[in-house]
Chains A and B, each alone.
Chain A
Amino acid sequence: MDKILRINMGGEKGPEALIEPLGAYAGLGGRAFTSTVVSNEVPPTCHPLSAANKVVIAPGLLSGTIAANSGRVSVGCKSPLTGGIKESNSGGQPSQVLARLGYAGVVIEGKPSGDNLYKIFINKHGVKISPDNSLKGLGNYAVVAKMKSEFGDKISCVSIGPAGEMKLAGASIAFTDMELRPTRHAGRGGVGAVMGSKGVKVIVLDDTGMKMREPKDKERFREANKKFTEGLRSHGVTGQALPAFGTNVLTNIINEAGAYPAYNFKEGRFDGASKISGETEASLETERGGLATHGCQSGCIIRCSGIYNDKDGHYLTKQPEYETVWANGGNCGIDDMDKIAMMDFLYDDFGLDTIEMGNSIAVAMEAGLLKFGDADGAINLIKEVGKGTHLGRILGSGTAVTGKVFGVERVPVVKGQAMPAYDPRAVKGLGVTYATSPMGADHTAGYATATNILKVGGYVDPLRPEGQIELSRNLQIATAAIDSTGMCLFIAFAVLDQPETFQALLDMLNAFYGLNLVADDVTALGKEILKKERAFNLKAGLSSEHDRLPDYFKTQPVMPHDVKFDVPDEDLDKVINW
């Protein structure tokens, strides 16, 4: 990973590729890379769909190595959904392949003058950019099938569906999985719309002839990876619960806690939760000859994904994960797992963020466009987006737009981005992160749970109520750092409980790059990233006034616990301020 690929889609003679050394970006990976490039090179006040915006795709620091769970990829840009900086990340194969091809990042900039749609092929010999208008309007599955017939099956793809071509603010970028299916998505923030604005439909990656990246100290690296792997395997969450049931294992406990947003965040519990829980989903998958335990990328040892077959035993989609099942299930009053799986397939194919879309549909239900629980109606709405009808374009532009168009007061967004699957009135600490993350309402922004091991800002007494401000800050710092390694965020659970597993992660980084990083360096990296993102947002016009939850979370209690979000604004303003 010693070079950057810049693709200028607005070159005078058409799109052009330039390979350059890392320069000031040396040593950065994943989110650290994308947020630094966007901070340095994108004017904060530019229109997100203009030539001035850039799509930055970056593998993690350990991607392309034998390190377990190291294949997460980050996508950065100015977000058309939030108007601020965005880092959205995904699993799948492309991170490993890009890294093995030697690229620390791909930066797509400029904008083509005509209306051609392009495909970009990258292999060890170089880069080829060519117009391919036969791809126009195709879903991600059809695009990947075409690329497979053209380039063979040793490839991986990064693509957009019709939603990205239409430049909808809910559009995602798809990354293919081990089976060469477009099932992994950088979903949040409308990154697919920015790729669509560049006229890029698909990037095809082929690392044939390339080898695994070699660490500086092979023996030390191998030893650290062994300890890291053992740590993941021995932990109850990463070694047992996630492999057995996937992330949707959360449905039952979040519902029991009264923190499961149902009927457009009106209730904290959903009666049909057990019908769409991870336990039920895993049973169905096994019964129908699918898989309840499956990795989304090679080198994954947690394997929290799966294969979801229809009633006849045919592949329907990958295992819909918790956020998808919630957004399109309980939040819409829908308790039919097969219908939710169909929605998941459509989102993957059209290239849409499942969280944003589920919330848009729930808001449309609240507006009376269809009834809560109407699964077929919800599927039809998604198809409207795929067809690009006026209604579909409204829904695909996100929850905030949908709420405005249909005159709904209860619109669960922060900085224009829809909330994930945890009611911030019940779990207020998550509400603090939703409010203050530079990314908008984001459940992964404060996901990494290594704070007291990292001792970011000192040890926090978890039993002090005011500790949630410090915790949210520390979690966001730790998460920003982990997002830069390219490690799957789920490693955080093992790192939380097992200091030796965290040390093994540091040892891997040190052995690979010949460094001597200690926990403080990781903390400093996380702080630096957040500082840059916050500074970009301030210049883009997003200030502390935007670090707030919608008012109704403060005035309308959620049952069963009859709780409101009551963290004072002045406390929220302390989070990204150290």
Chain B
Amino acid sequence: MNSRTVKQDIFTALRLRISSAEKLRFTEIIQKGFAFNTLVGVSIKTFLYDLIALDPRYVQERISTIFLDGKAVDDIEEAIILDGSTLALSSAMPGLAGATLRRNGLYASLRESITYKEKAGNNRIREGIITLKLFNLLIDDIGPIFLKKGIVVNSRELHSFIVKQPDSFWRDCSDIILAGRPLDRVDLLAGNLLIQNDEVELTVLIDG
């Protein structure tokens, strides 16, 4: 399990406002996975329907492949997200392997040994942090929702990501606010501002 423990009081908070044309640049971060503060001890269904407020029809039709801690999930009502869980969401994938991993698919038996099975336990509902990964079509579809809510990423990885963004990204970046302080691109990259703490809470607002 790829669990992470993050203390909220040592986050550096970075907020960016970018244009819609640049949003897919965050693909790298979103597919690799980010930490997300949420209620835990709830089912995947509750997380997606109630906490993220996704349309049930969208979840049913589009999010057809789900992994909880690397195991393929069939029943989103039964599978419980815990503090430190890793949740990965994907649309329908090609190939027999893709069809096999699909939830409630016809070929579920082909991956029986890696199917998620919920164990009875004390799943108290409380605040916690999970690792969330979004793949393929979902990056564009619902990635912006999480970017807007705020995600937690490793500060050094974020620094490398920020450094390599082209001029077009910064031209369309209207706000750069670090720890409540407006900055420009040069200031942001100068010194070790971004890597003062291990983790950064990144919020990205997307225009258009």
Contacts and interface: CB of A to CB of B under 8 A. Distances in A.
The B interface, classified by DSSP as helix, strand, loop or mixed, is: helix
Contact of B62 (A236, A247, A465, A560): A236
A252 B98 contact: no
A563 B94 contact: no
B90 A253 contact: yes
Interface string A258-295: 11000000000100001001111001000000000000
Interface stretch (A91-99, A217-225, A467-475): A467-475
B114 A280 contact: no
Given A247-B94, A280-B28, A430-B96, A257 B70 contact: yes
Interface residues of B, number: 41
A241 interface: yes
B106 A462 contact: yes
Contacts of A259: 97, 111, 114
Contacts of A422: 97
Contact of A279 (B27, B71, B94, B99): B27
Nearest to A287: B166
B100 A430 contact: yes
A426 B111 contact: yes
Contacts of A447: 95-96
Given A252-B31, A254-B97, A241 B136 contact: yes
B93 interface: yes
B70 A258 contact: yes
Contacts of B92: 236-237, 241, 493
Interface string B58-95: 00011011010011100000000000000010111111
B110 interface: yes
B32 interface: yes
Contacts, number: 160
Contact of A464 (B94, B109, B135): B109
A249 B138 CA distance: 12
A247 B94 CA distance: 7
B107 interface: yes
Contacts of B95: 247, 250, 322, 443, 447
A269 B133 CA distance: 15
B101 interface: yes
B135 A560 contact: no
Interface string A211-252: 000000000000000000000000011101110110101101
A241 B62 CA distance: 11
B84 to A, nearest CB: 15
Interface of B: 24, 27-28, 31-32, 61-62, 64-65, 67, 70-72, 88, 90-101, 105-114, 133, 135-137, 139
27 contacts: A236-B64, A244-B136, A244-B137, A247-B95, A249-B93, A250-B97, A253-B101, A256-B88, A259-B114, A274-B28, A277-B31, A279-B135, A280-B28, A322-B95, A426-B111, A427-B114, A449-B107, A462-B105, A462-B109, A464-B109, A468-B112, A472-B110, A493-B94, A493-B99, A561-B70, A561-B113, A563-B114
